Each structure stands twice: as structure tokens, then as C-alpha cells.
């Protein structure tokens, strides 16, 4: 048996250990097809590409997914990266697998104007596929998890981008599906990559008191076990440690120290029935004094993702608070695997069982159709889909879930469009409130309607906080011909701008018109145009704000370009890079050059690579281009070392600075480099949203020790959030 066959047998045995009932013949066929199609392809780590789909398939198996999902996991990159088509998959593995793979496949063949547009369109496609089969998202989450597990082989910019996207999009999606086993690992890896110092400091702090905490937990478990035994029920008690990203969020956003977090470790009790849950809760509150306001009943009122459990924080006999969680075995299974825990196609259970759980997805698909601007789509997605929720009650006691900050208007339109359009006010806990009242958890809301109501006005778009309500308000305004005529408003704006002598096509670009809309608390450019035609926003005032934003941005661009030119002019006399600072083992008079992909400097571990006709290229040993070379190419490596007799030479290297895009930032950076006698030989700047700019400096450096000093000094500049050595 060769190595390939042994690898396949090991994989198939892994799956059979997870679920002996798998159709292993079908999975073996998919494995061989993936192996055939990815033959010769390598990951950035230099390992065979097939390892990635294998690991994705293992993650899916561990989640309890069915054979077709695992087959799709094995083939999920085939359509994008190989000649194998969706049609081929349909022929070889059936319609169901083809739909799953197609849903995961990125829109790689299309060209978009911006990264935001590409990201938005990929998510739109994924949501559409999810609406047909939620397994598309589960495969995508497994794919993202394995990519994060091996993310060290990407460059710093790619790592940062992928980790931010994970925290903003994929971890919240895992949370929405209730798959905490994925959510926690995604978040912890992203934190470790984005904030390594914070992460490892947190790990060390937690580790420092682990023995003491474990001793306390063991004492609690022993005492609790003695009392629960008297109930004569089946139960299981374990300790649970809070994952690092969750601790980090509490410390950062609630301004807490580690010893102020009560649920850092917790005791979890699993029982068979809901009745047993409340019986154990009674025992807990008899043994220890509960902390007021720290009891949460997620059984009576489940979380958005249908997580259920009782949480209570009590004071232990040593005076220290600790948390106890109580749930049934079934609740625990759902808490770990979320919607994946319901995947029982093999037992013939209908998919309609999960229909209620996917209501948020159908809502997303409804409102995303009306959002044409990718930035607006992404922001609305983050705010509306992944925001904290508020739970309120109808007068009959039904629970209604809304985004945090919602108003009676959001509640009314969530109940029914007809109630929303006739809404004239609301009663909250029996008292009249205006329609812009902010609802809180536990409010009982009764909508007051009137048949004489004139219906929604443009101002309602400012009051409504949920995309569902805003979408229905827009639809009503258009249907009743009371809009917001977008074309009319745009035409009015264009004429006014032309009369002022400006180029309206330039000024009405998204970046300025969207900012103007937001300044009037409107969600989009179309809302602004409509409001102008409807009279909600005065035309002259809108133009004044628009021109002010346009001129301010243009002025800032000119100032930035002037500063870059000035820095470039003052650094023209920078010292040249001399490759003679490197010695090649047993070779003289050979062309030597430093690679631009990793810019090695003295102190770096280096290696030479014999190029075809261009001499020897010197790389850092940790350069991704070197690491990812095929084995046969590595035969062209040659030993090189720094020439210690030429220690005073200078070498170009790149440093990236992530900073607040403020006035004077370039001057502060230039002054810091001048103070350290470091020459800047090149500057590039890239603005992002939220007034953040990434500045990449090319500087003349003598060695790695000098680089570390420069990084520390630049990091101390006010407004600088991150500084790192760039690798292209």
C-alpha cells in the first residue's frame, strides 16, 4: 500500500469512528475525485492542497453532518480551482451535492469595482444558497476554520483582513446558528493573530490562577453532588472555562479586570428534563446566596440562536462569586452544535422542523434585495443581523425578538405590515409612549392604531431601527405614490449643483452622497433623493452639506499628496542597498540581489536561491515564497551569510503603520524617523473606512535591532494603532 492509499484509509477510518453508518463508498469516491483534481496543487505552507478539503470534511463529520455535506466539503474548492465543473459534480454525485458546492464557490470569474462589492456579492450569493440549504453556510464555516488554523502562512495584511472578516461576519454567523464549538475557536484564533500581545498576556493571567480556580471548582462540585444525589435524578457535573475572546471582550468593552469577571470558570450541570433543571436550580440557591440581577432563564426565553440554559451567579463559601449553568443533555448538544445538531436527514426528519430557526435568514434575503450599495449592505448586515437583541412581549405574552435599540414602529411592522402603517402610538407596560420610544427587554408592547392614520412618512425611516421595518416603510411610500421619488430628487439635486458650477457627476459619487445621507440620519443615497423630492430635506441644505464634504475630502487628498511628495524629496539622498553585504559559500564575483518580497536585513536568518539567469536572490528563511516552493525547487537553495566586516551598510525594508487618518500624522512619522536617523526612501498610503489609513514606509535600516527600535518609536505616536514589518 502506497502513502496515498494509507492517507485515504486513515481519513475513511476517522469518519467511520465518528459515524459507522456513513456511506463510505460514496465518500471514498469523492476523496479520489478531489485527489485527482487537486493533483500537483500546493497550499502556501508547501503541503499538498488535498489536505485542506480533507480537514474541512473532518470538521463537518465532527459536527454530525451527513454524507452529502462531507462529499461537498471534499469538493468545495474543485469548481473554483480546477477544471471540474458544477455540471461534472451533478453528473458524478447528484443535484444535492452540486447545489452545496455551487453555494460555497466564490464569484471568482466576475470583476468588481471594490473589495466591499466583491465581499457583499459573495455574501449575497451565499445567503441565497443558504435559503435553499443551510448546509452551505456550515461548509463555509468549516472552510474558514481550517484556513484560520493554518493562517500563519499568509502575509500580515492577508492575516489581518481574514481575521477581521471572521470576527465581523463568520463568527457571528456561527453564533446565529448556535454552533459554539466553531464560534469559540474562530474568535480565539482571530484574537491571537490580531492582538498577539493581548492574547498571550491573557493566557498567562488565566494560567497563573488555574490551579487555585480548579481547586475551588472541585470543592463546589463535591458539595453540589451531595445535594443533587438526594433528588435521585440522572445528572452530570463538569467544569467549564470561558474562551479567551469572550474574556477579552468583557475586559475591553466593560472596562473590567480579569478578577472582576464572575463567569471566568463555571460549573455546568446536565440533566434529563426541564423539570430537573429547575429542581437543581433550587438546590443551588439553597446552598449558596445568588447575586441579584445575575440570574438568566434562557429556557423560558431562549437566545436568538435557540440556545437554552439556566445561568446563575452565586457567592461561594470563600466569598468568591462563581457561575453555575444548568441545562438538559439535548440543550447541551444544541449549544455545542447548533443547527447542525438537528441534521437528521438519514432518519427521515423533515427539513421544515428548522424553518422557524431560519426566519432571520429569510428576512435578510428580503431586505438585501433593495440595497444596491455594497457598503450599505455590509454595514446593515453587521448592524441588523449580528446586533444584540431585545426581547419584548405582545399583550398575549408572545415573545418578539428585535434588534437592540428598536422602537414601537419596529415592533408593529414585525407583527404585521397592516399594523405598522396604521400605527399612531404605543403602550409600553400600560403607559402611552411615542413611536420613537426605545424598547427594553421585558417590555409589554401594545400598538395603538387608527383607521384615520395617514400612514408612514419619510421621517419614519429615521425612527425605525430594523431593516425589516425600513423596507416595509419604503414599499408603502412607493405604493402610495408618496415617495420619495428617487429619480425626481436626484434630478433636482443635479440641476442645483450644475447651477453652482460644479461637476455633478463627480460630486454625486457614493462616498460623498452616502455621507450626506447619513448626516440627515438617512440610510442611503436613495433615501436622501426621495426625501428631497418629498420635502423632508431642504434642497439647499442638502447641497451645502454635500459640497462641504466633497471639498473637505478633496482638500485632504491634496494635502496628503503634498506631504508624500515632500517626504520623497527630502529622502532622495538615501543610502543605496549593496548586496555585497552578503557572502556566498565558495562563490566569488556572482550577481547577488536582495528579494523585494521579504527585504532581508542583518539579523534575519537568510538563504540564497539560484535563479535562472539573474544570479542569486537572497531571501529571509521565513519568506512565504521560499516556504511554499515545491521540493524539487528547493534543490536550488545555497548557503549565504551576512558579511560581518560590512556591518555599517544599509538595507531597504518596508514598515506598515495602521493609524488614524488625522492632520499631522505624516509629519509625526517623518519627525520620528528623522530623530532616529532613519532615512525614508519611499512612502505609500492607503485610506480605509472609519478614517483609518495604512502607511507603508520604505526605510534604510542596518539590522533587525534597529528595526525593532523603529517599530517601538512609531507605535508610540498618538493615533497609531499598529506597526509591523511588511512582507509583500
Rounded to whole angstroms, how far apart are CA atoms 47 and 365? 39
Whole-number CA gyration radius for the chain: 30
Strands (E), 33-153: none
3-state secondary structure of 219: helix
Rounded to whole angstroms, how far apart are CA atoms 35 and 47? 13
3-state secondary structure of 425: strand
Rounded to whole angstroms, how far apart are CA atoms 578 and 592? 9
Rounded to whole angstroms, how far apart are CA atoms 535 and 484? 9
First to last CA, the chain: 42
3-state secondary structure of 577: coil
* Catalytically annotated residues: 80-81
Contacts of 575 (CB under 8 A, 6+ apart): 649, 650, 679, 700
Grid cell, residue 168, equals 465581523
Q: Dihedral of CA 359/362/367/371: which sign?
A: positive
Cα diameter, the chain:
95
Query: Residues 114, 374: contact at Cβ < 8 Å?
Result: yes
Rounded to whole angstroms, how far apart are CA atoms 38 and 422? 59
Grid cell, residue 231, equals 433528588
Q: What is the DSSP string of 300-367?
A: TS--TT----EEEEEE-TTS-EEEEEEEEHHHHHHHHHGGGGG--GGGT--GGGGTGGGHHHHHHHHH
Q: Provide φ and ψ at 393, rounded to 5°.
A: -120, 145
Contacts of 590 (CB under 8 A, 6+ apart): 584, 615, 616
- Taking residue 692's Cβ as centre, other Cβ atoms within 10 Å add up to 15
Q: What is the DSSP string of 613-676?
A: SS-EEEEETT-HHHHTS-TTGGGGEE-EEE-GGGTT--EEEEEEEEEE--TTHHHHHHHHHHHT
DSSP conformational letter for 703: -
Give the rounded distance of the alpha carbon of 485 from its chain centre: 36
Q: Which residues of 30-52 are buried (b: 16+ CB within 10 A; e: fewer)?
A: bbebbbebbeeeebbeeebbbbb
Grid cell, residue 326, equals 444548568
3-state secondary structure of 448: strand
Contacts of 248 (CB under 8 A, 6+ apart): 191, 195, 198, 199, 202
Strand pairing report for 692-701 and 679-688? antiparallel
Rounded to whole angstroms, how far apart are CA atoms 460 and 417? 14
3-state secondary structure of 588: coil
Residue in this structure with the C-alpha cell 500624522, named with its chain if needed:
665
- Taking residue 723's Cβ as centre, other Cβ atoms within 10 Å add up to 21
Amino acid at each position: 500500500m502506497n502513502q496515498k492509499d494509507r492517507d485515504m484509509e486513515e481519513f475513511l477510518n476517522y469518519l467511520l469512528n465518528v459515524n459507522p453508518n456513513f456511506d463510505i463508498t460514496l465518500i471514498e469516491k469523492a476523496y479520489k475525485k478531489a485527489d485527482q483534481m487537486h493533483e500537483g496543487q500546493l497550499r502556501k505552507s508547501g503541503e499538498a492542497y488535498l489536505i485542506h478539503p480533507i480537514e474541512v470534511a473532518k470538521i463537518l463529520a465532527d459536527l454530525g453532518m451527513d454524507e452529502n455535506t462531507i462529499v461537498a466539503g471534499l469538493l468545495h474548492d474543485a469548481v473554483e480551482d480546477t477544471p471540474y465543473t458544477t455540471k461534472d459534480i451533478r453528473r458524478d454525485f447528484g443535484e444535492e451535492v452540486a447545489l452545496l458546492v455551487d453555494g460555497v464557490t466564490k464569484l471568482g470569474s466576475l470583476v468588481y469595482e471594490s473589495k466591499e462589492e466583491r465581499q457583499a456579492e459573495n455574501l449575497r450569493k451565499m445567503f441565497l444558497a443558504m435559503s435553499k440549504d443551510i448546509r452551505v453556510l456550515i461548509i463555509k464555516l468549516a472552510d474558514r476554520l481550517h484556513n484560520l488554523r493554518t493562517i500563519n502562512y499568509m502575509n500580515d495584511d492577508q492575516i489581518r483582513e481574514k481575521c477581521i472578516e471572521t470576527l465581523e461576519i463568520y463568527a457571528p454567523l456561527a453564533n446565529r446558528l448556535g454552533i459554539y464549538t466553531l464560534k469559540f475557536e474562530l474568535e480565539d484564533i482571530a484574537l491571537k493573530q490580531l492582538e498577539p500581545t493581548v492574547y498571550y498576556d491573557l493566557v498567562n493571567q488565566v494560567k497563573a490562577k488555574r490551579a487555585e480556580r480548579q481547586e475551588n471548582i472541585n470543592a463546589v462540585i463535591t458539595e453540589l453532588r451531595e445535594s443533587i444525589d438526594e433528588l435521585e435524578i440522572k445528572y452530570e457535573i463538569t467544569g467549564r472555562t470561558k474562551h479567551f475572546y469572550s474574556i477579552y471582550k468583557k475586559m475591553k468593552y466593560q472596562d473590567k479586570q480579569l478578577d472582576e469577571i464572575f463567569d471566568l470558570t463555571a460549573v455546568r450541570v446536565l440533566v434529563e428534563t426541564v423539570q430537573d433543571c429547575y429542581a437543581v436550580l433550587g438546590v443551588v440557591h439553597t446552598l449558596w446566596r445568588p447575586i441579584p440581577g445575575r440570574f438568566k432563564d434562557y429556557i423560558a426565553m431562549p437566545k436568538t440562536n435557540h440556545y437554552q440554559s439556566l445561568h446563575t451567579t452565586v457567592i461561594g463559601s470563600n466569598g468568591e462569586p462563581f457561575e453555575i449553568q444548568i441545562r438538559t443533555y439535548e440543550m447541551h448538544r444544541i449549544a455545542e452544535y447548533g443547527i447542525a445538531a438537528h441534521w437528521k436527514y438519514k432518519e427521515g426528519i423533515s427539513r421544515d422542523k428548522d424553518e422557524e430557526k431560519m426566519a432571520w435568514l429569510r428576512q435578510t434575503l428580503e431586505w438585501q434585495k433593495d440595497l444596491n450599495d455594497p457598503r450599505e449592505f455590509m454595514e446593515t448586515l453587521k448592524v441588523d443581523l449580528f446586533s444584540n437583541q431585545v426581547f419584548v412581549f405582545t399583550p398575549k405574552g408572545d415573545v418578539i425578538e428585535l434588534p437592540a435599540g428598536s422602537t414601537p414602529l419596529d415592533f408593529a411592522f414585525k407583527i404585521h405590515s397592516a399594523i405598522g402603517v396604521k400605527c399612531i402610538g404605543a403602550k409600553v407596560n400600560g403607559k402611552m409612549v411615542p413611536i420613537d420610544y426605545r424598547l427594553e427587554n421585558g417590555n409589554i408592547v401594545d400598538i395603538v392604531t387608527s383607521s384615520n392614520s395617514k400612514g408612514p412618512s419619510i421621517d419614519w425611516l429615521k425612527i425605525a431601527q430594523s431593516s425589516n421595518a425600513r423596507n416595509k416603510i419604503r414599499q408603502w411610500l412607493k405604493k402610495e405614490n408618496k415617495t420619495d421619488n428617487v429619480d425626481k430628487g436626484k434630478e433636482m439635486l443635479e440641476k442645483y449643483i450644475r447651477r453652482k458650477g460644479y461637476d455633478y457627476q463627480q460630486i454625486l459619487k457614493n462616498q460623498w452622497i452616502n455621507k450626506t445621507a447619513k448626516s440627515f440620519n438617512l440610510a442611503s443615497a436613495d433615501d436622501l433623493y426621495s426625501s428631497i423630492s418629498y420635502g423632508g430635506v431642504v434642497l439647499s441644505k442638502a447641497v451645502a452639506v454635500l459640497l462641504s464634504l466633497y471639498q473637505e475630502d478633496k482638500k485632504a487628498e491634496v494635502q496628503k499628496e503634498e506631504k508624500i511628495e515632500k517626504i520623497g524629496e527630502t529622502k532622495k539622498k538615501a543610502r543605496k542597498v549593496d548586496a555585497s553585504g552578503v557572502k556566498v559559500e565558495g562563490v566569488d564575483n556572482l550577481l547577488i540581489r536582495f528579494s523585494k518580497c521579504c527585504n532581508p536585513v542583518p539579523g534575519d536568518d537568510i538563504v540564497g536561491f539560484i535563479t535562472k539567469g539573474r544570479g542569486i536572490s537572497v531571501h529571509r528563511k521565513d519568506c512565504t515564497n521560499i516556504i511554499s516552493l515545491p521540493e524539487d525547487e528547493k534543490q536550488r537553495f545555497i548557503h549565504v551569510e551576512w558579511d560581518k566586516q560590512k556591518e555599517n551598510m544599509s538595507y531597504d525594508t518596508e514598515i506598515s503603520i495602521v493609524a488614524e487618518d488625522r492632520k499631522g500624522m505624516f509629519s509625526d512619522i517623518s519627525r520620528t524617523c528623522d530623530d532616529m536617523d532613519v532615512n525614508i526612501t519611499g512612502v505609500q498610503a492607503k485610506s480605509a473606512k472609519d478614517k483609518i489609513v495604512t502607511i507603508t514606509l520604505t526605510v534604510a535600516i542596518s539590522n533587525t535591532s534597529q528595526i525593532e527600535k523603529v517599530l517601538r518609536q512609531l507605535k508610540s505616536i498618538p493615533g497609531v494603532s499598529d506597526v509591523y514589518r511588511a512582507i509583500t
